[in-house]
Amino acid sequence: MSGSEKQEKIAGSKGGKKEGKKVGALGLVFLGLGSAIGGSFFLASGIAVRLAGPSVVLGYLFGGVTVYLIMVSLGHLALKYKERESFRGYVQEAVGPTTGFMVGWSTWLTNLISMVAESIAMAIYTRIWLPQIPVWMLPLAYGVLATGINFLGIKIVDKSEGFLTVIKTGALVAFMGVVAYIFLVPHRVAAAAGTANLAPFFPHGAGGLGQAMVICTFAYATGALASAMGDTKNPRRDIPRATIGMALGQAFFFTLPTLALVLAVPWTMVSTKASPFVTALNHVGIHAGGTILNAIVLISSFSVLVASMFSAEIMLSSLAKDKEAPAFLAREWKKLSIWALLVSSGALLLVSQLALLLPKHVYNYAVTTTGYLSFVGWAGILIARLALCLPQKNNGRMEWSGFLVAAAGLAALVLISILGLKVPEQRFSFVFTVVSVVVLLGIGKLVKKERETKGGPDGGDPQYAFTGKTAGPSLPERITGKLRQK
C-alpha cells in the first residue's frame, strides 16, 4: 500500500477518521449518516418536492434501493481488495489505472461542487436572519472559516462528526415528532396539516417523479462508508452489517421526514429560498421551532462543508503522491497537506463567486451537478464489481448473483440520469459531467502512456503506473514546469 493510500482511505468522503482507528458496523453507520445529512437534504429536498410533489416520498424510497445495490457491490470490493482501503484503489485494481484516475479526479471535483452547494445553502439560511448582507459575501466568509478549521487538522474535523450527527438526526426525529403530535393530539394548527396535502400525489405525473430522482438519489452518501471500509475491526462481519444498517438508516431519515414534510405543508409552498422543514414548522405556527431548525441546518451544512474540504485536500494530496497531480500538492506542513488544502479552498472561493453569476437558480445547478458527479464514482464502483464477476477474474466461472446486483444498480443510475434531462438545470449538469468524464479519461490515458514510455522498475508494467516509482517527472509535473518556464 502506497503512502498516499494510507491517507486516501478517508478521501472522497464527507468526514474523516483517525489513522489506525478501527471502527465497527455501528461506527460505519453513524459515519455514513453524518456525511449524508446536510444541505443536500435539508434544502435540496425542496427542489425534489417542487418537481414531484408528495410522490417525492417514493423517490427517496427508490433512491434508497438503488444506493443499497451500490453499497452491496462496494462491500464485495472492500473484502476483495482489503489492502487498498479506498474505492479509487478498488477501481484501479478491477478496471484499470485510467478509470481509477478518472474516478479520483471526479471525486475531487464532486467535493468541490458539493462545497459550493453547501456554501450557497448556508448563505440562504443566513439571509433569513440577516437579509441586508450581500449574498456574495457569505460564501466567502464561510469558505475562509472552513479553511481555518481545516488548518487545525483531522482531530478537529473528526471529533465534530459524531456530535453533529446526533444533532442532525435528532432534529429530524424531533420534526417527525412535532408532525405526529399535530395529528394525534387535538391542536389549533391541525387544520394546516393533514392528508389533504397529499393530493394530488403526482401533480406533474410520473415524469415529475422521474425528474426528482437525481436529487432523491444523490442525497444518499456512500463516500464515508467507502472510505472507512478498509479500517474495520472485522471486515467480513462488519461490512455486510454496515451496508444493511446504513441503507436502512438513510432510508429512514430521508423517507419518513419527507413524508412528514408533505403532510405538514402543501407542496406548492415549498421552495429553495428556505429549508422546506423550516417552512413547514412556520406554516403550522411553530415559529420558534423553525428558527431553531434553521440554526441546526446551518450548522449541518457547515459541518459538511468542513468535511468536504478536508476530503478534497486528502484526495488531491493522494493524487499528487501517486504522480497523478502536480508534485507540490503533496507537500506537507506539520502533517497537513498545505498546498492541497489551499488549492481546494481557493477553488471553492473562486467557483462560489463565479457560480453567483449564473441564473437565479444557481443552487439548483450546483446540487444537480454534484448529483451527476456522484453518479460517476458510483458507476465506477458498479463497473468494478461487474469486472470481478467475469470468468477471467473469478477462477473461470461467472458470478451471476453479484453481476445482476451490480447491473441492476448501473441500470438504475442510467435510468435516473436520463429521466432528469427534461429539467434545464439537470441537462446542464449532465452535459458538464459527461464532458468532465471524457476529459479526465483522456488525460488519464496520457498519464498512463507517459508512465509506460518512461518505464518503472518493472520496465513499464501498468500496475506500477500509480505507485510513484517511475523515472522522471510525471505528465502533470512536466506541464506545470513548462508553464513556469514561460
- Residue 222 confidence class, pLDDT cut points 50, 70, 90: low
Cα–Cα distance, 319 to 327 (Å, whole number): 9
In terms of average pLDDT, the best of 8-22, 325-339, 372-386 is: 372-386
Residue 214's pLDDT is what? 93
- Residue 306 confidence class, pLDDT cut points 50, 70, 90: confident
Name the residue with higher pLDDT: 114 or 35: 114
Lowest mean pLDDT segment, chosen from 51-55, 201-205, 264-268, 427-431: 264-268
Residue 18's pLDDT is what? 40
Lowest mean pLDDT segment, chosen from 24-38, 132-146, 192-206: 24-38
Q: For 123-157, how does the pLDDT look when each residue is reduced to its tens digit (9 = 90+)? A: 888 988 888 888 889 999 999 998 988 887 656 65
Name the residue with higher pLDDT: 402 or 251: 402
Residue 226's nearest CA partner among 122, 105, 72 is 72
In terms of average pLDDT, the best of 161-175, 186-200, 468-482 is: 161-175
For the cut 80, the answer to whether the pLDDT of residue 270 exceeds it is: yes
**Is the Cβ–Cβ distance between 223 and 35 less than 8 Å?**
yes
For the cut 60, the answer to whether the pLDDT of residue 279 exceeds it is: yes
Residue 6's pLDDT is what? 39
Amino acid at 117: A
Cα–Cα distance, 245 to 239 (Å, whole number): 10
Encode burial over 369-403: b for 16+ CB neighbours within 10 A, e otherwise: bbbbbbbbbbbbbbbbbbbbbeeeeeeeeebeebb
Residue 159's pLDDT is what? 64
Q: Can you give the length of the chain in residues? A: 486
Domains of the chain (ranges, CATH numbers): 3-467 (1.20.1740.10)
Total-model pTM: 0.81
Residue 118's nearest CA partner among 300, 347, 272, 271 is 300
Instruction: Round the CA-based radius of gyration of the chain to a whole number and report it.
Output: 22
In 3-state terms, what secondary structure has residue 22?
coil
Residue 22's pLDDT is what? 60
Name the residue with higher pLDDT: 478 or 395: 395
Q: Provide the β-strand partners of residue 232.
A: 23
Give the 3-state secondary structure percentages of the chain, helix then strand then coil, rounded to 5.
75, 0, 25
Residue 458's pLDDT is what? 39
Residue 461's pLDDT is what? 41
Residue 201's pLDDT is what? 93
Name the residue with higher pLDDT: 129 or 8: 129
For the cut 60, the answer to whether the pLDDT of residue 484 exceeds it is: no
Question: By CB neighbour count within 10 A (0-12 exposed, 13-18 middle, 19+ buried), where does 479 fall?
Answer: middle
Residue 468's pLDDT is what? 42
Residue 469's pLDDT is what? 44
Encode burial over 243-254: b for 16+ CB neighbours within 10 A, e otherwise: bebbbebbbbbb
| Average pLDDT value over all residues in the chain | 79
Name the residue with higher pLDDT: 78 or 348: 348
DSSP state letters, 25-71:
HHHHHHHHHHHHSSHHHHTTHHHHHHHHGGGHHHHHHHHHHHHHHHH
Name the residue with higher pLDDT: 401 or 452: 401
Residue 229's pLDDT is what? 59
Q: What are phi and psi of 23, to 5 degrees?
A: -120, 155
Amino acid at 100: G
- Bond preceding residue 186 cis, omega within 30 of 0: no
- Residue 472 confidence class, pLDDT cut points 50, 70, 90: very low
Lowest mean pLDDT segment, chosen from 34-43, 227-236, 267-276: 227-236
Q: For 309-357, how does the pLDDT look when each residue is reduced to its tens digit (9 = 90+)? A: 888 888 888 888 888 888 888 888 877 788 988 999 999 999 888 877 7
Amino acid at 322: D
Instruction: Read off the pLDDT of each residue in 250-277 and give the average, rounded to a whole number.
Output: 87
- Residue 231 confidence class, pLDDT cut points 50, 70, 90: low
In 3-state terms, what secondary structure has residue 249?
helix
Which stretch of DSSP H or E encloses residue 216?
helix 205-218
